[in-house]
Amino acid sequence: MNNKTELMESLGYHFRDSSLLDLALRHPSLGARNNQRLEFLGDAVLQLVISNHLYSAFPQAHEGQLTSLRQGMVCEKALADIARLLHLGDYLQMDHGCRMNGVADQNGALSDAMESVLAAVYLDGGYESASSLILRLWPEEETQTENAKADLQEYLQAKKKPVPEYHLLDESGPAHAKSFTVAVFVDGTEICRGTGPSKKKAEQAAAGTALEILLLRQ
C-alpha cells in the first residue's frame, strides 16, 4: 500500500485530521467501521459543487440540459476514472479476498471511495476546500459531453434508423456571450432542442437530451 502522503500530494490537499482520510479509504469488507457514511455525504457535496458550477457556466441552459451535463460528471464511471488517475485503488483498505478478486479496481469500489474522500476533505477543510478540489480534478463539462453526438448516432444505427440531423435555429447575444439553439431531427422529426454558448455545445446538449428521450420511449 502506498504512503497516504503521496495521495495527499496527488489530491493537492493535506489533511489536518488524517483519520478522516483513513476512514474514507476503508472498504465495507473490513466491517462496521467503513467509508459508507462518508460516501453518502460525499455524493451530496459533489452534486452541489457540480450543480453550482454548471448553473454559473451555462446561464442560458434549461433544467433538463443542466441535469444531463451533471449526470455525466457525477456518474459512477466519471468518479472511477478520476479515482484511477489518482491511483486511489492502491490506497484502499479491504480484506484479502476482495483485494485478490480485483475489487480495488472495480468502478463501484473506486467511485464510492472517491465520494468518501470528497466528504473527508469537506469535513476537514469545509466547502471551499472540497469545491476547489473537485473543480481542479474534474474534466471540463465539454469533455464529459463531447461524445453525446456519437452516442446518439450509435444508438440510432443499432435501431436501423437514419443518422440525426442538427439545425441551427437561433444565434443571439453579444459577441462575448453568444447563445446558440440547435434542434436535432431523427427521420425528419424534431426530437428536442439544445442551447449552449457555442454551436458545438448546443448540438452536444441536444444530442444528450435526445438520447435520453429516445431511451425513455423504448
Residue-range domain boundaries for the chain: 4-144, 147-216
- Contacts (Cβ under 8 Å, ≥6 apart) of 8: 14, 15, 21
Catalytic residue among 43, 112, 124, 203: 43
- CATH class in words for 4-144: mainly alpha
How far is the C-alpha of 113 from the C-alpha of 100, rounded, in Å? 18
**Cell digits of residue 96:** 484479502
> What was the pLDDT predicted at 208?
86
Can you give the pLDDT at residue 175? 72
- Spatial CB neighbours of 208, under 8 Å, sequence gap ≥ 6: 65, 68, 69, 72, 145, 148, 151, 152, 194
- Read off the pTM: 0.66
As assigned by CATH, the class of the 147-216 domain is alpha beta
State the catalytic residue, choosing from 115, 124, 141, 203.
115
DSSP assigned state of 126: -
Chain centroid to CA 214: how far? 22
**CA 46 to CA 2: how far, in whole Å?**
26
Give catalytic status of residue 43 as yes or no: yes
Low-confidence ranges of the chain (pLDDT < 70): 1-2, 60-61, 140-146, 176, 218
Q: Is 141 a catalytic residue?
A: no
Give pLDDT, residue 1.
Answer: 47
